[in-house]
Structure formats: structure tokens, C-alpha cells
Amino acid sequence: MSKIPEEIRHFLSQSGRVLLIRGEPGTGKTTLALEIMKNFNFGYLATRKIVEEIKREYPWIRKEMLEKMYFIEEKYNYENTDTFGQVFYLLPESMRHALNQYEKGEIEGIIIDSWHSILQELNIKAMEDKSREKVYESQSFFLKVLKLSDLNVKFIVVNEGKEEDPLSYLADGVITMHKKVEDGRIYRWLTVDKLRGEDIRKSNYIFTLKNSKFRALKSKLPGYPKKLVPFPEKPIQKTFFEDIFKFERGKSMVLDFGDFVPKQYRMTMVMNLVANFLIHDSRVIMIPPNELDMSELKFQLYLFSLGKYYRNLVYLYSGETMESFAREVDFSSAGEVKTTVEDTLKDYSSDVPPLLVIGYDRLYNYLQPKEMTQVLYRIKDVVSEKGGVMVFVGNVSDITIKRFCSSISDAYVKVMNVGGEVLMYGIKPWTRVFHLSLSNRGYPTVERREIA
């Protein structure tokens, strides 16, 4: 049930609801309708062509679901009933059969997919029998559906297009599905336009159709773990970014955080990298991003249970400190920054590459753009000589700095906040869009799902 947004689940748990799912072709309307069918035991009323397409495109559909799919254009045996009054006899035989199944308690509602396709079939019947022409007129037919909902039957109507029309005004709930393709990447989201009687706490949901299944996505911000566990040793080359960037000697990556990405996400993504290198006895040098001051760093080291790896960490700091892993440096002196990194790596020799994390937002506070590009270039040469790995992190709006960092890096990863959801994608190399969420496994970790 968690795949369907909470507001929609609660809305459909009540009897007699009419929900309109609308959107342009390819936005995922049928996939959402099938997810609802699976979870809420609906019957499915569609043309034979649509049902055959469902069989081909949705291999996960269970046999019992297929048995509850009815063809709008075909004749069915049905039992006469007075439950629904004269409306019952004005409907196609397929819907009468479905209403019989509802009376028997075998289904709790009916999905109509799609409204446009069904009306085309019914219009053909109307042409064959002129006396029924008004019966199958679009608005008239929908009013009959509403009449049935007054008798506690639930209906979900799938309709092409997202324009306001009589269906959207008359339905109890309206959901609009959206798809956007930008630079070859797909973004999918739905808008909860109306759910009568519901408290809509979140009106937009990003979702994925990966593996032909609907799944609404939500970026969670869980509390910190109650019980800490050691960070697990994982191959350095296979990390959270493994299909975007291999952490091999001499490589570098930009991790560009957009505006309003929650701090927990920023810290967790950076510290997962730091932790993975530290536990492999690699030296980690940090020119920290602005928000990773000494107190925050110590807290993050505690969360990841990294106390015994302090010997591998060098944290460049602008003030005096008693911490053994801190080294004081004047960030306003480009030469001193470069020399400090060089001295730190002078005696380093290991099969595991050292990691240099550069918070370019911190350097941006101290240096002019030209000075900053010069010192970054020189630092890259120093780290490359030692076979190290560099990761630029932070949020800088200066396009000159971003372009420079991108030009000297092997990968560029963008992380952004879209309507409260955290998304990530690779610009270099190109990747699809991933939705991110946090979880606790005794230490903070980031989970990602591809939006397809």
C-alpha cells in the first residue's frame, strides 16, 4: 500500500468515491490504476485492445486480476437486480456484469480505462441503435456513474488530457499525471487537484514507473539512529555513485548541491564517502564545505563510528584547535592552502588512493575567483601525483567556478530539491534522474530509486 500516496489511499478507503485520473498519453495513468486495482480489489472495465496491451506490458499482473478485467464491447451473462434501479438497464452488459460482482462482494469498485476509448465503443453501439444515442453521450453516461456512486459503488475513471471538463467538476477526486523530458531525462510527478473531504498535506508526488510498476517517492528525513553500528567496509570503487563515477587514482568528481537540499542529505552523502576511505586506511584531507565546521564534523564522525580512524583524517581549519586531526591554515592564502595539501601527502604511500574533499564554497569565501581556480588547479596536480581522488562539494552560484571545476573533473553530479523531494543526476557522464531518501542502518545512509 505504501506505493500509493497516503491521501489517495485514505480517499479510496471510503465507499461511493469517484476518482478521475487524467493526463497526457504516457504519463502513467494505467499503471497507477493497476496499482490501485491490486491493492483495493477493483474490477477493470476496458476495451479488449487495452486489456491485451496490459497483458503484454505488465508481466506482474496476477491471474486473479486478469479474471476481473471485463471487455466493454462484449456481451456478458448478468443477473437482473433492483439494487441499482433503472440505471442498471441503461448500462452496457459488461458494466452490469461488473455490478453483479460488486453485489456479491467480489470487487469493491470499478476502474474505467479509458473514458475516451470506452465512449468510442459506446458511440458505435449508439450508431447501431439510435434510440440509445443519448444514453451513451459523454456527460449523460458519467452522470449514471455518479448515480451508482450514490449507492456506495467506488469508481476510478482514467481519461486522456488534463483540461478542465464536466468529468473533473463532477468527480469527488481529481489526480493529474505529468511527465517532463529534459536533456533526455524523465521527470514524473502527479498533482492531487481535488480529494473531497480529505486533508491534502502534500499536493505533488514524484513517482517512478520502473519495471512497469507505479511507486510514489518521498524523501524521508528520519531521526538519527538510536543504536550506532560500525560503518561497513565496502570496495572503494563501488560506492553510492558506482555507476556514475569510479573512485580510481587520479580521478575527480564535482558534487554540486543546489539550493534548499536538506543538510542531512548533504552531510550523509559527503560522510559516506569519507567513512569508506577512512576504514580502508586511506588518508582523507578535508577543506570542509561551509556547514561542516568542527562541531558538525565531530558529530558526523560519532554517527559513523569513526573514532578509531582519526589518524587517517586531516581536517584543514582556519582557527586554533586541540583536535589531533586538525591542521590550521590561512584559507585567504592560495599558496598556503596548496603547500599544506602538498605537505600532508608528502609521506603518503599506500595501495589505497588518498581522498581530498574540497568545499569550494569555503574557498570562495576567502579567494577571488581567479585565485581560486589557480589554487584548485595546483592542488589537482599535487593530488594526481600521489594518485589521489578529489571530490568538490558545496553550493556556489558563480558559473565560472562551476565550469572550471567541471572542466578538470571526470564526473559532475547534481543534487537538487524539487518540491521537497531530493533528486540526483549525472551531468558528466549523463545519467537518468534518481530520487533520494535517507534511512538508518545504525548510521545514516542514502537510498536512491531511478525515475523511469
Mark whether 139 and 47 lie in a shared domain: yes
Q: What is the pLDDT of residue 130?
A: 53
- The yes-or-no verdict on residue 122 having pLDDT over 80 is no
Indicate the pLDDT class of residue 1, thresholds 50, 70 and 90: very low
pLDDT digits (tens, 9 = 90+) for 183-210: 999 999 999 999 999 999 899 999 999 9
Q: Assess contact for 285 and 341: CB atoms under 8 A.
A: yes
Model confidence pLDDT, tens digit, residues 212-239: 999 999 999 888 888 888 888 877 777 7
Residues 6+ apart with CB under 8 A from 308: none
Last residue of a domain, one of 217, 242, 261: 217
**Does residue 246 belong to any structural domain of this protein?**
no
Residue 26 lies in a domain: yes
Q: Are residues 193 and 278 in the same domain?
A: no
89: three-class secondary structure by DSSP? helix
Indicate whether 291 and 422 sit together in one domain.
yes
Compute how many other C-beta atoms are within 10 angstroms of the C-beta atom of residue 40. Answer: 18
Question: Pick from 163, 198, 217: which residue ends a domain?
Answer: 217
What's the confidence (pLDDT) of residue 25? 92
Q: How confident is the model at residue 244 (pLDDT cuts 50, 70, 90)?
A: confident
Any idea which of 235-244, 248-257, 261-270 has the lowest mean pLDDT? 235-244
HEC states along 379-403?
A: HHHHHHHCCCEEEEEECCCCHHHHH
Q: Tell me the angle at which helices 48-57 and 29-40 cross, rounded to the nearest 10 degrees.
A: 80
The answer as to whether 227 is a domain residue is no
DSSP assigned state of 417: E
Q: What is the rounded end-to-end Cα distance, in angstroms, of the chain?
A: 20
Do 256 and 213 fall within a single domain? no
Predicted local distance difference test score (pLDDT) of residue 129? 56
Cα gap 191→135, rounded to integer Å: 32
Same domain? For 191 and 316 the reply is no
Above pLDDT 90, what percent of the chain? 65
Dihedral angle, C-alpha 316, 321, 322, 327, nearest 10 °: 20
Instruction: Compute the average pLDDT of residues 115-123.
Output: 72
Cα distance between residue 76 and residue 94, in whole Å: 6
Question: For residue 72, is it left (φ>0), alpha (ψ between -120 and 50) or beta?
Answer: alpha
Report the length, in residues, of the chain: 452
Question: Considering its fold, how many domains does the chain have in total?
Answer: 2
Residue 357 and residue 281 share a domain: yes
- CA–CA separation, 411 and 393 (whole Å): 12
pTM: 0.89
Of the pLDDT bands very low, low, confident and very high (cuts 50, 70, 90), residue 134 is low
Find the mean pLDDT for residues 430-438: 95
| Strand-pair partners of 326 | 315
In a domain, 235, yes or no: no
- Sign, CA dihedral 241-390-363-322, equals positive
ω into residue 429 within 30 of 0, thus cis? yes
C-beta of residue 50 within 8 angstroms of C-beta of residue 39: no
Question: In the predicted model, what is the mean pLDDT of the chain?
Answer: 89
Domain that holds residue 27: 6-217
Helix (DSSP H) and strand (DSSP E) numbers for the chain: 14, 19
Q: Are residues 146 and 258 in the same domain?
A: no
Q: Flag whether 243 is in a domain.
A: no
Q: What is the structure's pLDDT at 121?
A: 66
Say what the alpha-carbon torsion angle 433, 438, 444, 445 is, to the nearest 10 degrees. -30
Q: Grid coordinates in use for 149? A: 456512486
Specify whether the CB–CB gap between 255 and 392 falls below 8 A.
Answer: yes
- Is 330's pLDDT higher than 90? yes
241 within some domain: no
Say if residue 15's pLDDT is above 70.
Answer: yes
- In a shared domain, residues 274 and 140: no
Is the N-terminal amide bond of 114 cis, ω within 30° of 0? yes
Picking from 51, 14, 48, the residue whose alpha carbon sits closest to that of residue 33 is: 51
Q: How distant, in Å, are the alpha carbons of 150, 279, 312, 392, 396 from that of 257?
A: 51, 25, 26, 10, 8
Residue 195 lies in a domain: yes
Q: What angle do CA 312, 316, 321 make, to 5 degrees?
A: 95
Looking at residue 107, what is its pLDDT?
A: 96
324 CB neighbour count, 10 Å cutoff: 10
- Report H helices in 150-199: 166-170
33 and 112 belong to one structural domain? yes
Looking at the fold, whether 188 and 309 belong to one and the same domain comes out as: no
Same domain? 204 vs 341: no
DSSP state of 161: B
Same domain for 75 and 173, yes or no, is yes
Residue 239 inside a domain? The answer is: no
Domain harbouring 266, CATH code: 3.40.50.300
